[in-house]
């Protein structure tokens, strides 16, 4: 599934590249607005790998426990029991293809599509309203792995002042996961400031910034819980959001030749991310 999706994305990118060669000569519109600034080539095709690690806040948790295999006979519990966790952590890696175009000297728009693999770990798990002898049978932690396609788009505003630049990027992505009807929706805003420079035959940029993320995870599925010596499939529904909305970041881009760009970015603070980018412009 994953390999087929990536191959399809690459094929679409190559098709887009062929049709966009003519368009690139006319973009961006309003070149006179650049006031003598050197502009990047207008159209780009990128491959991106993005890793994110962060804590989540559970807005609601409920479980459906099947009849428990107890020595005295099966015990049937009500469905949709309320539950809670003391710590909810998410790790995810997304691999995407990106197509972008500078429509105006200060406005870039883009679309992304790819695949995400991740895992959510819950600790301090407990179910309310259970007798102590039953509650003690349930595990205090569990993990759920997921994967699925991710797609979305965004826009970047940018301005240059001599060797210095500032940009503001905003994008929205959605992931359809392979567990039940689970989804992840993410809205991200990233301001950056930096400097252009060169070292020998290489030219590039160095920048710092911050990133705001509004992430909503809605996961519904089944996890195997070790209960009374057996693996019991327990249904769960978890609605969560990011614990920390902001983190700080630092990154660089290196340009080799007229067309190829390589980028690396690291985010730190309570939320951590790493992003590597390979970009071809024409």
Domain locations in the chain? 2-281
- Closest by CA position to 194, among listed 162, 226, 148, 149: 162
CATH-assigned architecture of domain 2-281: Beta Barrel (2.40)
Range 18-24 contact pairs with CB under 8 angstroms and sequence separation of 24 or more: 20/101, 20/282, 21/282, 23/101, 24/282
Instruction: Name the helix (H) or strand (E) containing 134.
Output: helix 132-135
Q: Classify burial at 125, counting beta carbons within 10 Å of its beta carbon; exposed 0-12, middle 13-18, buried 19 or more.
A: buried
Q: What CA–CA distances, in Å, run from 55 to 58, 122, 215?
A: 10, 10, 11
Nearest 5°: phi and psi at 176?
-100, 110
CA quadruple 74, 77, 79, 81: dihedral, nearest 10? -140
Q: Classify burial at 133, counting beta carbons within 10 Å of its beta carbon; exposed 0-12, middle 13-18, buried 19 or more.
A: exposed
Q: Would you give per-residue pLDDT tens digits along the chain (282 residues)?
A: 656 655 665 555 555 555 555 566 678 997 777 666 778 899 999 999 999 999 999 999 999 988 876 777 777 888 899 999 999 999 999 999 999 999 999 999 999 999 999 999 999 999 987 878 788 888 999 899 999 999 999 999 999 888 999 999 999 999 999 988 899 999 999 999 999 998 777 899 999 999 999 999 999 998 888 877 788 899 999 999 999 999 999 999 999 888 999 999 999 999 999 999 999 999
**Measured distance CA(278)–CA(282) in Å, rounded:** 14
Q: Is the CB of residue 211 less than 8 Å from the CB of residue 247?
A: yes
**Measured distance CA(3)–CA(6) in Å, rounded:** 5
């Amino acid at each position: 599934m994953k390999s087929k999706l990536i191959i399809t994305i690459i094929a679409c990118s190559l098709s887009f590249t062929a049709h966009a060669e003519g368009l690139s000569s006319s973009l961006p519109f309003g070149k006179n607005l650049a006031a003598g600034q050197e502009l990047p080539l207008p159209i780009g095709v990128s491959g991106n790998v993005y890793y994110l690690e962060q804590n989540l806040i559970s807005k609601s948790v409920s479980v459906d426990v099947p009849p428990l295999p107890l020595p005295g006979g099966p015990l049937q519990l009500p469905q949709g029991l309320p539950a809670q966790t003391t710590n909810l952590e998410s790790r995810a890696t997304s691999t995407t293809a990106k197509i972008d175009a500078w429509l105006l000297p200060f406005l870039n728009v883009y679309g992304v599509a790819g695949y995400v693999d991740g895992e959510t770990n819950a600790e301090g798990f407990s179910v309310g309203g259970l007798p102590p002898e039953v509650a003690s049978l349930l595990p205090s932690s569990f993990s759920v792995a997921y994967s699925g396609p991710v797609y979305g788009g965004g826009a970047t505003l940018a301005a240059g002042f001599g060797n210095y630049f500032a940009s503001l990027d905003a994008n929205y992505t959605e992931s359809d996961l392979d567990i039940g009807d689970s989804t992840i929706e993410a809205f991200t805003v990233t301001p950056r400031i930096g400097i252009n420079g060169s070292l020998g035959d290489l030219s590039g940029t160095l920048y710092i910034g911050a990133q705001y993320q509004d992430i909503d995870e809605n996961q519904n599925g089944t996890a195997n819980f070790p209960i009374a010596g057996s693996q019991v499939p327990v249904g769960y529904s978890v609605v969560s959001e990011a614990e920390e909305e902001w983190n700080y970041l630092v990154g660089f881009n290196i340009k080799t030749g007229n067309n190829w760009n390589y980028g690396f970015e690291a985010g730190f603070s309570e939320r951590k991310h790493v992003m590597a980018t390979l970009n071809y412009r024409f």
